[in-house]
Amino acid sequence: MKIVLISPKGPLYRHKGGIFKKTLRYQPLTLTTLAALLPAELDITVELIDEGIEEIPESLDADLVGMTVITGTTKRAYALAERFRGRGIPVVLGGPHVTLMPEEASQHADAICIGYAEDTWPQLVRDFAQGRMQSSYHQGPQFSLQESPFPKRELFNKKHFLTQAVFEATRSCAHDCEFCVAPSAWGRKQYQHPVSWIIEDIKRVGQKRILFIDLNLVSDTKYAKELFTALVPLGVSWFGLSTVLIAHDPELMELMARSGCRGLLLGLETVSQANLKNMKKPFNASVDYKSLIGDLHELGISVQGCFVFGLDHDTPDVFEATSEFAIDAGIDLPRFSVLTPFPGTPLYRRLEAQGRIFSRDWELYDGQHVVFHPQLMSIDELAKGHEYAWKNTYRWSSIGRRLWNAKNFQPLGFSVNLGYRFYAHSLHKFYNCDWPIDSMMRKAAPSISRATVEQTIAIATESKNKAPCG
């Protein structure tokens, strides 16, 4: 039996197109994990296709096709499903969008997996082999990550990716932010791999620069401290995601630094206290952003600070105010997005009830397009203001001011900012940007190498594939 697992392309990452090229991707864990979960007792040949790095052969042959779907790739996933099913190949769909919109997804598939697939996917494959595959499989109440196989990273050609050193210690997040996909799709219970399992996986990969893709690596501080303590002897440098609540635990921050943390993505979201309360993220208000950023810099930890525009208390002056705050605070790598009401989230339900959603073209649900009516500004003001914030923050003078204020010339330094400067000036051609790296290099400082630009863009954009992006 041959099974083909596919990650469909989207506007950001696609072969022969998109802002970020195939060589700028880190290796995803979803397909390699699904491959590792295939029942050992069955005679299965498996092929993995990441459409961001390679084309799907027209003559692709398989007994079963499985696809992981986020909101921004649904259009492509459904089109592929139609193609395969038209040829008599059964299709299984899973992922966050499928979990949030099962009725929609089921119209395009022979079977769907709802929730995490560690238990359901092997059962589905066994059922398929016996000719009794069901139309839907649901994550059970006993779900756990305590006994998991290691991802089969070797099934991908590593030359297609910037790094294979991508790890996941935990899943989901304890918070319930209004706009976030995670609590709506999977609940607020955090699932954890045993620390010993994570350490063994890191040793197996054998690289010293690693990336944790956990939505909130420090949600459980006891577990986080156990993990960081175990990382210390490995001598690795790592990047990950956290909430600003680490500000209240200096011991934890110091341990993070000793364990090799060199960069953190922080969801700062907004400089408005009213907005934080409205989006159900009031805990951010307990932290002085500038002080936290300064403390992290003192520890040698760079900051990617993420902000969102279009919140109900945002007025047209929010773009300049947020951009100037990012510059003044010395955020190594600011990132801006447009508020996006991903289907199934409380935000989507609220805006839908208010009649404010004007587009349900899921391809536009990427954090960069406006799909709803803002409260205190026009659609055009939000779209143009978002682009202004990017460009203003990544002017040459702004980059210099930020890095000077940061006084933290660590991994996310000047060369990384070149990557986001390129991104900022490509927003207007978001869907058809097909600039070769060499073109970018000619516009960049001549002393910066091609490899450096490729590496820094990938690190800077690692969160684009996270589950909260729908």
Distance, CA of 23 to CA of 193 (rounded, Å): 29
pLDDT at 249 over 50: yes
Share of the chain above pLDDT 90, in %: 69
pLDDT band at 148 (very low <50, low <70, confident <90, very high): very high
Q: Taking residues 21-35, report their average pLDDT.
A: 80
Residue 454 banded pLDDT, cuts 50, 70, 90: very low
Residues 437-448 have pLDDT tens digits of 233 333 333 343
**pTM score, whole prediction:** 0.87
pLDDT at residue 193 is higher than 50 = yes
Is residue 219 pLDDT above 60, yes or no? yes
Residue 130: pLDDT over 50: yes
Distances (CA, A) of 241 to 72, 203, 337, 465: 22, 21, 17, 13
pLDDT band at 232 (very low <50, low <70, confident <90, very high): very high
**Per-residue pLDDT for 177 more than 70?**
yes
Q: Is the pLDDT of residue 468 over 70?
A: no
Q: When comparing pLDDT for 450 and 114, which is higher?
A: 114
CA 129-132-136 angle, to 5 degrees, is 105
**For the chain, what is the mean pLDDT?**
86
pLDDT for the residue numbered 449: 42
> Given pLDDT bands bounded at 50, 70 and 90, which one contains residue 410?
low
Structure confidence at residue 274 (pLDDT): 77
Distance (Å, rounded) from C-alpha 405 to C-alpha 39? 54
Structure-block tokens of residue 364: 């536009």
Q: What is the pLDDT of residues 337-355, one digit of tens each?
A: 999 999 999 999 999 999 9
For range 423-444, the mean pLDDT: 47
Check pLDDT > 60 for residue 453.
Answer: no
- Whole-number pLDDT of residue 280: 63
In the predicted structure, residue 430 carries a pLDDT above the cut 50:
no
Average of pLDDT values for 105-125?
96
Return d(Cα 362, Cα 2) in angstroms, integer.
Answer: 31
pLDDT band (50, 70, 90) for residue 24: low
pLDDT higher than threshold 80 for residue 12: no
8 or 462, which is more confident: 8
403: exposed, middle or buried (C-beta count within 10 Å: 0-12, 13-18, 19+)?
buried
Q: Residue holding tokens 């960081």?
A: 228
Q: Where does the pLDDT of residue 429 fall: very low under 50, low under 70, confident under 90, or very high at 90 and above?
A: low
Note the pLDDT of residue 187. 84
Is the pLDDT reported for residue 126 higher than 90?
yes
Helix (H/G/I), strand (E/B), else coil: 42: coil
Smallest CA-to-CA distance from 460 within 412, 426, 428, 425 is with 412
Per residue in 83-102, pLDDT tens?
999 999 999 999 999 999 99
Predicted confidence band of residue 175 (pLDDT cuts 50, 70, 90)? confident
The DSSP annotation for 223-292 comes to HHHHHHHHHGGGT-EEEEEE-GGGGG-HHHHHHHHHHTEEEEEEEEE-S-HHHHHHTT-GGGGGS-HHHH
Match 């009649």 to its residue by tokens. Answer: 355
Residues 281-311: tens digit of each pLDDT: 777 778 899 999 999 999 999 999 999 999 9
Helix axes 396-406, 318-329, angle to 10 degrees: 50
Q: What percent of the chain has pLDDT over 70?
A: 86
Say if residue 370's pLDDT is above 50: yes
Mean pLDDT confidence for 130-156: 95
Among the listed residues 220, 300, 195, 196, the one whose alpha carbon sits nearest the alpha carbon of residue 253: 300
Reduced to 3 states (helix: H, G, I; strand: E, B; else coil), residue 154 is: helix
Q: In which band, very low, low, confident or very high, does the pLDDT at 470 lie, cut at 50, 70 and 90? A: very low
Could you tell me the domains of the chain?
A: 2-138 (3.40.50.280), 165-469 (3.80.30.20)
- Return the higher-pLDDT residue of 464 and 336: 336
First CA to last CA distance, the chain: 32
